[in-house]
Structure 1
Amino acid sequence: MTWHPHITVATVIEDNGRFLFVEELKNGKLVLNQPAGHLEPDETLREAAVRETLEETGWDVELTGVVGIYLYTAPSNGVTYQRVCFTARAVRHHPGRALDTGIVGAPWLTRDELAEQPERWRSHLVLECIDDYLAGPIHSLDVVRD
């Protein structure tokens, strides 16, 4: 078997102590995640983060920094994901825009509201990225070389 890690992006968006999340159906269960998804061919990491956020939440965002780079192996299927987590600010909402298949909504929650629902996290990275964002440092976008 050939091992192929999956490259993904995620975006932490904060507005007055609330964070933008994606509520999605995964294996018949509603889970919470950052706006996140896979890098597509001929796309930069930055482009992927902006695109995924719009597709999953209906929000245009401006990237402001990098929280970190994470390696995660899903216990359900053994697939390894490399996640590049960005920070962004919400710029414009498109409330009439259809969201990606499986996305139920895009709620804004506080860190504590998220922490109270561990059974709803898509993975432990959901809270870890928020906590790393809050603890800092946030790295310059210049660390990402497209």
Structure 2
Amino acid sequence: MARRDYLDDPSAPKANSIVPSATAIVVNEAGELLMVHKTDNKLWALPGGGMDPGESISQTVVRETKEETGMDVEVTGVVGIYTNPGHVIAYDDGEVRQQMSICFTTNLLGGEIATSSETSEVEFVPVDRLDDLNINPSMRLRIDHYLEHRERPYIG
């Protein structure tokens, strides 16, 4: 399903849903960040997605990371909680979702890099190469907060 992200855009459609979601910061031994190239909006992002009924948000992080990248992780902490009402995502089925995402740090346990129906590319990216990727500003904010090594999680 195609989607379009709006960030602080006065012409954005009004949100009609909120779905709890999660993203994962996954770093390899070289300090590179696991990134996915999404098929729905053609942007680079952290692995993640919406929470399913019957699972905890930490289970969401583990499942989504495995589904989108082939990698196994365990949750270790929280980078931040991102709920900007000015960030909405319009899907081609008429859903317009207000952002509600928690970004988690993880420990990489293993796995083999693999793409999925949601990801056309999966890659560990050196931090100094992130500027070369087309990343939504909301996603980049999460990455920047992680790289700042904040004392406390971002709440906004």
TM-score range, shorter chain: 0.7 to 0.9
Counterparts of residues 32-47 of structure 1 (less than 5 Å): 32-47=44-59
Task: State the number of aligned residues.
Answer: 133
Contact preservation (8 Å) 2:68, 2:118 = no
Structure 1 residue ranges, 4+ long, deviating more than 2 angstroms after superposition:
1-4, 74-79, 136-140
Q: Are positions 1:114 and 2:130 aligned together? A: yes
Q: Are positions 1:20 and 2:20 aligned together? A: no
Gaps spanning 5+ residues in structure 1: where?
Answer: 141-146
Give the percent of matched residue pairs that are identical in Structure 1 and Structure 2: 26
Contact preservation (8 Å) 1:13, 1:87 = yes
Q: 1:134 Cα deviation (Å)? A: 1.6
Aligned partner of residue 17 in structure 1, secondary structure: coil
Contact preservation (8 Å) 2:89, 2:99 = no
> Which residue of the partner structure matches residue 118 of structure 2?
102
Deviations 1:109-134 (A, max 9, x none): 122311233xx21x212221111112
Q: 1:139 Cα deviation (Å)? A: 5.5
Gaps spanning 5+ residues in structure 2: where?
Answer: 1-13
Q: Are positions 1:92 and 2:110 aligned together? A: yes
> Which residue of the partner structure matches residue 8 of structure 1?
21
The one-letter amino acid of 2:68's match is E
Q: How high is the TM-score relative to the length of structure 2?
A: 0.74
Q: 1:90 Cα deviation (Å)? A: 1.2
Q: How high is the TM-score relative to the length of structure 1?
A: 0.79
Residues 138/40 of structure 1: CA separation in 2 closer, same or farther (3 Å cut): farther
Q: Are positions 1:137 and 2:150 aligned together? A: yes
Where is the helix percentage greater, Structure 1 or Structure 2?
1
CA RMSD, aligned part only? 2.4
Aligned mates of 1:116, 1:133 — CA distance in 2 = 18
Aligned mates of 2:128, 2:99 — CA distance in 1 = 26
Q: 1:82 Cα deviation (Å)? A: 0.5
Contact preservation (8 Å) 1:65, 1:138 = no
Contact preservation (8 Å) 2:89, 2:98 = no
